[in-house]
Chain A
Amino acid sequence: MPVADTARADGRETRSAFSRNAWRSGWLHLRRILLPTLLGVAVLALWHIAVTRGSVSPIILPPPSRVLGTLWANLPLLREHGYYSAFEALAALAISSALGLLLALVISTSRVVRAAVYPNLLVFELVPKIALAPLFIIWVGTGSESRLLFATFLAFFPVLVATLAGLRATDPMLVRLCQALGASGWQTFSQLRLPYALPYVFSGLKIASVMAMIGIIVGEFITGNQGLGYITMFAASNMETSLMLAAIMLLCIVGVALYGLVAVAESLINRRYGRPRS
């Protein structure tokens, strides 16, 4: 067989193998989206059938369509209370991250202070701080500021602990290199320690966004005068399950949005401090 023919045959074979692989990887990508979507659709369909065909009472589980209908019908009410919950959670996240970052910077300037604080913080992270919610009612009352303070309290510790850990995570060799090159303390901090700490800080902020939301919801559960958590409890006690589900759905959306905000901020800052690409 002439050499050219062999080459052509090889080329054909590679091409067909290549297209087979392309098909396969395309299918694998599609499957990754298709399977979860199918599960979601199946659950919704099963839910709908179970309720409409009678075996499950709509008080226990109203059909998805009715939940959406209730959401639409009560939109002004839900929007008003949603504003309270979202605003308080956002404010709690903002205050707690500012406080956490600032305090971490102050604490990490002194070895003794850090040694005195850090192990106690780790222990404090393990206890169910949520149990302290009623104390905030005793101290601050049942108003908006009580929930705000409690959520700030919950969200503050993850930021503080993560930032303290992050500021410790710098490669000591690089610190010595900076000093050897005559960098000032501020330069070492802004060029080296801070970029090193950022992934830790953002993982702390992500936990904080979830904790802020939890703080607001628990506060609304037990103080009971406004917010989507209050609507949830109110609807539960009135057996208005579809209103309850609508409020829970909105709470989840607010929670995901808050988390998304942190994730977007992280990707923006990562672009600024872009890691060397390999």
Chain B
Amino acid sequence: MRDNTIAGLAAIGVLILWEALTYAFQIPELMLPAPSVIAGEFAGESGRLILANTWPTAVQTVSGFAAAALLGIVVATAMVYSDIVRETLYPYLVAFQVIPKIALAPLFVLWLGIGFWSRFAFATFMSFFPIVIALAAGLKDARPEAVRMCAAFGGTKAQIFSQIRFPYAVGYLFAGLKIGATMSIIGVVIGEFITADRGLGYLILWATSRSDTPLVMAAIVVLCALGLGIYGLVVLAERMVNRVYAGG
């Protein structure tokens, strides 16, 4: 049997076991609702509630992630072309990877208010660092022989970048983007935990305060699906870009 088949079967087995155990031991819904109960949340009133709160979270996550990707590409490119920029910024980029950036969430609320912008900026802030560090490493690691050969044949800086450094760094870039996508959704959820009046993070806390565990679980399921969906888009983009640069 292939490994992925075994893994899929195991996941289904866990769901069935979960369902069976909640009935066998009469586990109260407040503690652990059965998967079927959680699935039932997607119908009717609570389904509408989930749908209405998914949209803001998705928009903020995607826009924060896109801004971080753009900013990351610009900064990493600047770092490759200027030693001064690289040496000035690099220690700070590494330091920001290590500190618990999540602690800064209330600061963004203070500066940008409780609306869209604070969560957008915080999501950008969270997902920017893995992207810029990965891409800077990739652009710098481009094979020096290839770079020198291109220069020897009279390639301009722009040509060296587009023909050698960037194709070489694409794998690194996407590794960074994958982490960045997860970070962006984490940033949005934290933002929604501490301030928002809508969004899935808000819905989760609201349902928690009403002891509505099935709704909490259903919202978490949607959030996870959203995270996987955005990750899937990044993987898809990677395939397409790789096809462009394939054969080189």
Contacts and interface: CB of A to CB of B under 8 A. Distances in A.
B208 interface: yes
Given A115-B6, A233-B194, A32 B87 contact: yes
B10 A117 contact: yes
B68 interface: no
A6 to B, nearest CB: 33
Among B10, B89, B92, B201, chain A packs the most CB atoms within 10 A around the CB of B10
A212 B132 CA distance: 24
Interface residues of B, number: 53
A126 B235 CA distance: 12
A255 B100 contact: yes
A130 to B, nearest CB: 5
Nearest to B232: A126
A131 to B, nearest CB: 5
Chain A interface mostly: helix
B131 interface: no
A128 B7 contact: no
A128 B92 CA distance: 26
A210 B204 contact: no
B31 interface: yes
Interface in A5-42: 31-32, 35-36, 38-39
B38 to A, nearest CB: 12
A120 interface: yes
B100 A127 contact: no
Interface stretch (B141-149, B154-162, B184-192, B237-245): B184-192
28 contacts: A31-B84, A32-B87, A35-B84, A36-B90, A39-B92, A60-B110, A120-B10, A120-B11, A127-B224, A127-B228, A131-B200, A134-B205, A135-B213, A135-B220, A138-B31, A138-B211, A138-B213, A138-B216, A214-B102, A222-B193, A222-B194, A229-B103, A233-B194, A251-B100, A252-B100, A252-B103, A256-B95, A256-B98
Interface of A: 31-32, 35-36, 38-39, 60-61, 112, 115-120, 123, 126-128, 130-135, 137-139, 210, 213-214, 217-218, 221-222, 228-229, 232-233, 236, 241, 244-245, 247-248, 251-252, 255-256, 259
